Structure 1
Amino acid sequence: MTTTYVLGGGCYWCLDAAYRALRGVVAVRSGFAGGDMPNPSYEAVCTGLTGHAEIVEVEFDETVLPPAVVLDAFFTMHDPRQLNRQGNDVGTQYRSVMFYADDAQRELFEAARARADEAWGGGVVTEIAPLATVYPGPEEHQDFFAKNPTQGYCLAVAVPKVNKIRAGFAEYLV
């Protein structure tokens, strides 16, 4: 049985790369959600004026990768205490957000956020919101890290996040 979570925690290139390191992840798709503009372009989302966040849709097999692990990894790979930013990436498009598809997901997300708040010593600002439409990111941004492993941003920002997942979730690595 596969489940899909829609999560935003900074640049989607980083979340995409980190989730692909976990066994049981069936697919990761980068895109945009949570805004008002239909079919936004990457350039429009980058202005911060669309209301959309950069997100990943993480599809995973619950029999291989428990939902709690997917969510705890999310709170490990980014700093959920930073409001509307991750490091040097600043704007509402980089906010920490979880979009739930139903009440069961909302409850799982709330429990994960509570665990994260305790783990981070308080101050978690991750938004939990109902899922509406997800718009796909550009094709060249899908699996970006694998396609561009020596790109400067990937080396400086994505690699440390992937390494955090490798260190904290070794038993679930591909």
Structure 2
Amino acid sequence: MAGNSETAILGGGCFWCTEAVYLEVKGVTSVESGYTGGQAEHPTYEQVCAGTTGHAEVVRLQFDPDVISYRDLLEIFFTIHDPTTLNRQGNDVGTQYRSVIYHLSPQQEATARQVIAEMAHVWDAPIVTELAPAQTFYKAEDYHQDYFRQHPLQGYCAFVVAPKVDKFRKLYAQRLK
């Protein structure tokens, strides 16, 4: 039986990390890594990494709101990355790694504003997560899709992605597929 489907677009640093977590979330039916929020049409990974297009690395999620709410997706989002560092996550530095929520409706915008306000009490530094209307989403190159599962022993995956996935699994065991 097919459920309802909604879309969320989130950027929490490198899309490999964000994608790896959301692929394991019950109620998330698809995850695509890609780029949005910039000026160039059909940007490439190399262009986005150069920081000249204005795009953020993001994931586009399809989810069943009868299984997981948008609010719950955002709570996971604020757990798996640091929303207090401007244009960076760890050693990944540049506007393409910004913390950003692209809303697709007034309801998503309102929910995001509420969750950001609530999370401000959790973090020791101010939250710098950008909140913006969704723009054109460009799917990243095929080799970026499902990257962590395909390359778990690659250095970045082993030392950066895996700890984030492990943290999610421990904190949200009830949300695992």
TM over 0.5: yes
Distance apart, 1:5 and its partner CA: 0.6
Match of 2:165 in 1: 162
Q: Which amino acid aligns with 2:119?
A: A
CA distance in 2, matches of 1:52, 1:117: 25
Moved more, 102-111 or 79-88: 102-111
Distance apart, 1:122 and its partner CA: 4.1
Whether 2:164 is the aligned partner of 1:149: answer no
CA distance in 2, matches of 1:139, 1:49: 22
**% identical aligned pairs:** 47
CA distance in 2, matches of 1:104, 1:17: 26
What is the DSSP-based 3-state SS (H/G/I as helix, E as strand, rest coil) of the residue aligned with 1:119? Answer: coil
- Equivalent residue in structure 1 for 2:5, among 2, 6, 10: 2
CA distance in 1, matches of 2:119, 2:137: 25
Q: Which amino acid aligns with 1:91?
A: G
The unaligned stretches of length 5 or more in structure 2 are none
Residue deviations 1:85-132, cap 9 Å, x none?
Answer: 000000000000000112111111111111221111341000000111
Match of 2:76 in 1: 73
Q: Which 4+ residue blocks in structure 1 deviate beyond 3 angstroms?
A: none
- TM-score between both structures, scaled by the size of structure 2: 0.96
Q: Which amino acid aligns with 2:61?
A: V
Match of 2:19 in 1: 16
Count of aligned residue pairs for this structure pair: 174
Match of 2:41 in 1: 38
CA distance in 2, matches of 1:152, 1:160: 12
CA distance in 2, matches of 1:139, 1:48: 21
Whether 2:102 is the aligned partner of 1:134: answer no
Distance apart, 1:159 and its partner CA: 0.7
The unaligned stretches of length 5 or more in structure 1 are none
Q: RMSD between aligned alpha carbons? A: 0.9
Distance apart, 1:9 and its partner CA: 0.7
Residue deviations 1:24-79, cap 9 Å, x none?
Answer: 11000000000001110000000011000000001111111122211100000000
